[in-house]
Chains A and B, each alone.
Chain A
Amino acid sequence: GENVGLHLPTLSVQEGDNSIINCAYSNSASDYFIWYKQESGKGPQFIIDIRSNMDKRQGQRVTVLLNKTVKHLSLQIAATQPGDSAVYFCAEKGSLFSGGYNKLIFGAGTRLAVHP
């Protein structure tokens, strides 16, 4: 897929360091969130999701944190590897007032660049 490149915020990290990618969401009533990873030339790929009744969820090398008070979502990647280089999107479930519950509302994305 063609990544949004011109105005994407970029996070540069050294291989082996931990990465934290942040996302602010808009709807305080949102109850479901997803992080996607998009590598160059590919479609977005599901990484991890979290429901609003949780504030933390862990996967393999990834952790998602949800702070409903400030409407903030973060993705933590442990021991970042060159293969983690990609654009990361957060998405929140739509609501009655944002097009319906079946939709996902995507953020603009953050580019993660991992340097050896």
Chain B
Amino acid sequence: DARVTQTPRHKVTEMGQEVTMRCQPILGHNTVFWYRQTMMQGLELLAYFRNRAPLDDSGMPKDRFSAEMPDATLATLKIQPSEPRDSAVYFCASGYTGDRRRVQQFFGPGTRLTVL
């Protein structure tokens, strides 16, 4: 049963610290998405990659957030320095977008981040 995995599941850190979240997409998927979910904003797309290349990171605060995909099995989202307003659940999703008619995304369980 293929699924997206994310680590850590929970992270509590202090303001100013660096946070790195990791995602392993489903094998064979060529597109990886990072979302942030909060009570107030709902589900927001931060960035996404296709074939490991960043396609869109317009939803991401550029000064402190960075997303990379060092290889096909790992995507990372880094926050440096972290701030209390970054507290949220961060989801990774993967999909196959070779068929433009279907862009189904499969979500991971999320990383719940709390910045004190």
Contact = CB atoms under 8 A, between A and B. Distances in A.
Contacts of A6: 39-40
A6 B101 CA distance: 34
B103 A104 contact: yes
Contacts of B103: 32, 93-94, 101-104
Contact of B91 (A1, A34, A46, A100): A1
A45 interface: yes
Interface residues of A, number: 29
Contacts of A102: 31, 48, 50, 55, 97, 103
Contacts of B100: 101
The B contact surface, by secondary structure, is strand
Interface of A: 1-6, 31-32, 34, 36, 42-46, 49, 51, 89, 93-94, 99-104, 106, 108-109
Given A1-B91, A44-B107, A46-B104, A100 B56 contact: yes
